[in-house]
Structure 1
Amino acid sequence: MGTDMLSRCNQADSPVDRFISVVAWNISTLRPPIFGFVPYNPILGETHHVSRANLNVLLEQISHHPPVSALHATDEKQKIQLIWCQQCVPKFNGKRQLKLLSRGETYEMNSPNLLIRILPTPGVDWDGDVRIRCPENGLEAELHYGHKSFLGLRGSHRSVKGKILETSTKRTLFEFNGNWDRTITMKDDTSGKLTVIYNAEEVYSGLKTPIVNDLQGVRSTESAAVWSELSEALMRHDWEKANETKNAVEEKQRELLRERESKGETWVPQHFTLTRNKDGVWDCLPIHQWVPPAPIIVPLS
C-alpha cells in the first residue's frame, strides 16, 4: 500500500521531526499533471466525499467564476485537520492549513504554480516557491520547485530544493535536494548526515481505486454522480454522447443560475463559509468540526 505520509506528521515526539514530516507530506501532495483536453468542468456545488482508513475528506466547488475549490479533511484518531481553499488560475492562490490538534500546531503553506507550456512541446509542470510556517514551534521551510528551461538545456526536471530554518534566528537547520517524482534527500547542517525523507515510489505504489461502499449515501452533487453518464460515454468512445451529456450538465447549471438571478438569490455553499479579501484571495472555514465517514472509500490493500 502507499505510505501514509499524513499520519506520520503527528506521530513524532520532536517538533523538528514533525516539521520534517510535514515538509515531506507537502511534497507528496504533488502529482504529475496531465496536459490535454479535459471534458470535466467542475460545476458550482459539486462535491467529492471519500475516506481512506480514518481520514475523511470532503471537497466542494464553492465558486464557478473564478473556479475555487474548498477542502476539509479530518482524522479523529490522529487529531489531524486539513483546510484548503484554492483558486486555480494557473497560479494557485489561496490558503492551506494543516492542524495537528493534539500538538497544538498549525502549519500554514501555499502551493507552487502550475506552469503551462505550448512550445516547444505542449506540457505542464509545477514551478515556483513554497513556504511552510509553524508559529507554535518556531520553524519554517522554503521550497523551490524547478523545471527545465524553454529548450530543455538548463534546469532539472521536477526538481525541488529547500531548507528548514529557525524563524527567530533564520539559522538553517537542514537542506534538502532532489526530484519530487523520485526521491528527496535532506542534509543535517550540523552533522552533515544525509537522510532520504521522501520516496515517490513508496508513496505511489499500491494506491487503490476508490470504490462505492454505500450507494444510498452518495450525494447527488458527488462528482461521480454528476459526471457518470459522461464517464460512461468516454469509456465507450461515444464522443457524440459525451459531448451531449457535457452540454446537458452545463445547460442545467445555466438554468439554475438564471433562476437564482430572477429571484435575487445568491448561491451559498453547503459545507463552508467564505470570505474574500481586497486582493481577491478566497478563504474558507468548514461548517462542521469533523468530516463524517464517506460512502466512497479508498481501500488500504
Structure 2
Amino acid sequence: MVTIEAAGPRPVLTPPLMLEEGSDANYRAPNLLKRILSLLNNVRPGSDLTRLQLPPMFNLPKSQLQCYGESVYCMGSDLLSKCANEGTSLERFVSVVAWSISTMRPLMFGVAPYNPILGETHHVSRGTLNVLLEQVSHHPPVTALHATDEKNNIEMIWCHYPVPKFHGTRIETEVHGKRQLKLLHKEETYEMNSPKLVIRFLPVLGVDWLGNVTIKCQETGIAAELSYRGNSFLPRQGNHRSINGRIFMTSSSSKIIYEISGHWDRIVTAKDLTTGKSKVIYDAKEVLSGVKTPIVKESQGIWPTESTVVWADVSQAIINKFWEKAKEAKSSIEEREREITQERNSKGENWVPKHFTVSYKESGWACLPIQRSVPPAPIVVPFNPFET
C-alpha cells in the first residue's frame, strides 16, 4: 500500500466540474493544442493510451477518483433521495434515469485528471451520503466506488475500467464496468453502464459523452435505453449534447411507457405514450448549478492515501501555473510508485486493496466492498442554503 508521511502536504481541494463551461480554462497551459498534437505525433491510430503519461500542463488539479466522486456527491439538489422515496416503482425508475443523466459533467478540451496511483483513495460525505473510492488496479486502471446513505436506505457500487484509444482525429475512451444503485428498503437494484468519452481534434475541437446507456431493474422488469449524441461534423445546436431514448417493460411485449428526449446539459423530458403528455424529468441548471467545493471538516481523520493529499503539491503548482514545479512533483510521485512496485515484485508480494475485494472474469472486472457501509468522511460537501 502506498502511503504518504503524516507531515506531508495538506489536502488541496478544488471546485468541482461545473455545468458552466470555462471553469477548467484557468488550468490550461498556453499553446495547448500544439503541445497535444506533438505528444500524439508518434502514437499510431488504434493504440491503447492507458499507459500514456501526461505532463501536468495537460492535467486538471484533481484525480480521476475525485471526478468519479464528484458525479455522485456534488449536486445542487438531492436526486438520490427522490429515487428512494418516490411512491411507485415506475416513478422511482424515472428518478433513477434522471439521476443517471446527472452523473454526466461537461469537460473542456485539453485537460484531464490525474491517473490515480495504486491504493489511492477518496472519501467524502454530503449530508447522510458517504462516498468512498479506491484505485484497486493500476495497470489496467480500475476504480471501485462504494457509497451508502443509511437515512435513505441507498447503496451504490461502481467498478470502472476506462480504455482510451487514439483514432487519428479523435481519442475515444470506453468506460467498461457497471454501476449499481440499490434502493434497499424497496429491494430494487438498478444496473447501468456509462457512455464513452470522445475528444475530437478535427474538424472542430470538442469533448463529448457519446454512445448508448442501458438501465435495468430486474425486480420490476422496467428498463431504459438512452442514446447520447453529439456533432459528427459541423456543430449544430440541436445535436450538441442531445439525449434520446425510451423507458419500457422488459416483458415479451416490450411495451414502451415513456419516450425520452432533450439535452443532458439542459432539459430532458419524458413523454407518456398513453396520455401524450410530456413532463420535465431533469433540469441540469437546477441540479448542477451552484454545486459546492468540498471542505475539510476534520483534518486528523484524512487518510495518507487520500487523493487531495497524494496530489497536493502537483495541484497547487497547477493552480499557480508553476509548470516546472508541477512536473517535478508529479515525477516524484510516479518514480516512487515505480520503486514500490519493483520492491513488491522482488519480494513476490501481491498488492491487496484495503476496501474492496476484486476479481476478474471473462465478463470483466468485479469490485465488491468489504464493509457493509461507508463511514462518515473528514472531507464534506456543504449543503446549499435552501436544503435542510
SS in structure 2 of the partner of residue 120 of structure 1: coil
2:93 is the counterpart of 1:19: yes
2:376 is the counterpart of 1:293: yes
Match 2:355 to one of 259, 262, 271 = 271
Tell me by how many angstroms 1:39 deviates: 6.6
Residues 131-178 of structure 1 show CA distances to partners (whole Å, capped at 9, x for unaligned) of 100011110011011111123369601000011101112000111100
Report sequence identity in percent: 58
Residue of structure 1 in register with 2:123 after alignment: 49
Task: Give the Cα–Cα distance (whole angstroms) in 2 for the partners of residues 128 and 176 of structure 1.
Answer: 15
Match 1:59 to one of 118, 133, 144 = 133
Residue of structure 1 in register with 2:255 after alignment: 171
Match 1:104 to one of 167, 184, 187 = 187
Task: Give the Cα–Cα distance (whole angstroms) in 2 for the partners of residues 230 and 39 of structure 1.
Answer: 11
Distance 1:173 1:47, change over 3 A: same
2:264 is the counterpart of 1:180: yes
Match 2:239 to one of 156, 170, 180 = 156
SS in structure 2 of the partner of residue 229 of structure 1: helix
Residues 210-250 of structure 1 show CA distances to partners (whole Å, capped at 9, x for unaligned) of 00001010000001100111112122221111100000001
Residue of structure 2 in register with 1:284 after alignment: 367
**2:123 aligned partner, one-letter code:** H
2:301 is the counterpart of 1:217: yes
Residue of structure 1 in register with 2:153 after alignment: 79
SS in structure 2 of the partner of residue 3 of structure 1: coil
Tell me by how many angstroms 1:206 deviates: 2.4
Task: Give the Cα–Cα distance (whole angstroms) in 2 for the partners of residues 135 and 117 of structure 1.
Answer: 37
Residue of structure 2 in register with 1:238 after alignment: 322
SS in structure 1 of the partner of residue 185 of structure 2: coil
Tell me by how many angstroms 1:37 deviates: 3.9
**1:179 aligned partner, one-letter code:** H
SS in structure 2 of the partner of residue 106 of structure 1: strand
**5+ residue gaps, structure 1:** none
**2:247 aligned partner, one-letter code:** I
Match 2:209 to one of 104, 126, 139 = 126
**5+ residue gaps, structure 2:** 1-74, 164-172
Task: Give the Cα–Cα distance (whole angstroms) in 1 for the partners of residues 188 and 373 of structure 2.
Answer: 17
SS in structure 2 of the partner of residue 91 of structure 1: strand
Contact 2:125 2:377 in 1 (8 A): yes
Contact 1:34 1:124 in 2 (8 A): yes
Task: Give the Cα–Cα distance (whole angstroms) in 2 for the partners of residues 170 and 238 of structure 1.
Answer: 57
Residue of structure 2 in register with 1:201 after alignment: 285
Task: Give the Cα–Cα distance (whole angstroms) in 2 for the partners of residues 263 and 139 of structure 1.
Answer: 51
Residue of structure 1 in register with 2:344 after alignment: 260
SS in structure 1 of the partner of residue 343 of structure 2: helix
Tell me by how many angstroms 1:61 deviates: 0.9
**1:52 aligned partner, one-letter code:** R
**1:79 aligned partner, one-letter code:** N
SS in structure 1 of the partner of residue 354 of structure 2: coil
TM-score of the two chains, using structure 1 as the length reference: 0.97
Tell me by how many angstroms 1:13 deviates: 1.4
Tell me by how many angstroms 1:278 deviates: 2.1
2:151 is the counterpart of 1:68: no
More strand as a share of residues: 1
Q: Which runs of 4 or more aligned residues in structure 1 lie more than 4 Å from their structure 2 counterparts after TM superposition?
A: none
Residue of structure 1 in register with 2:79 after alignment: 5
Which sits farther off after the overlay, 152-161 or 121-130?
152-161
Residues 246-271 of structure 1 show CA distances to partners (whole Å, capped at 9, x for unaligned) of 00001110011001000001111111
**1:51 aligned partner, one-letter code:** S
**Number of aligned residues:** 300
Task: Give the Cα–Cα distance (whole angstroms) in 2 for the partners of residues 36 and 153 of structure 1.
Answer: 21
> What's the RMSD between the two structures over aligned residues?
1.4
Residue of structure 2 in register with 1:229 after alignment: 313
Contact 1:39 1:246 in 2 (8 A): no
Residues 81-104 of structure 1 show CA distances to partners (whole Å, capped at 9, x for unaligned) of 000001111101001100000000
Contact 2:204 2:234 in 1 (8 A): no
Task: Give the Cα–Cα distance (whole angstroms) in 2 for the partners of residues 35 and 206 of structure 1.
Answer: 22
Task: Give the Cα–Cα distance (whole angstroms) in 1 for the partners of residues 288 and 237 of structure 2.
Answer: 28
Distance 1:154 1:4, change over 3 A: closer
